[in-house]
């Protein structure tokens, strides 16, 4: 049950972090 909510959150969080790294790079 928890995984169903954590996966989308983690995916969005990683995507946001990746965009920040690309911008700062």
Q: What is the dihedral of CA 7, 13, 14, 16, to 10 degrees?
A: 150
pLDDT tens track for 3-13: 788 888 989 99
d(CA 4, CA 15): 17
Confidence of residue 20 (pLDDT cuts 50, 70, 90): very high
pTM: 0.47
Say which residue the tokens 């928890």 belong to: 2
């Amino acid at each position: 049950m928890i995984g169903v909510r954590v996966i989308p959150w983690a995916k969005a969080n990683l995507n946001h972090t990746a965009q920040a790294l690309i911008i700062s790079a």
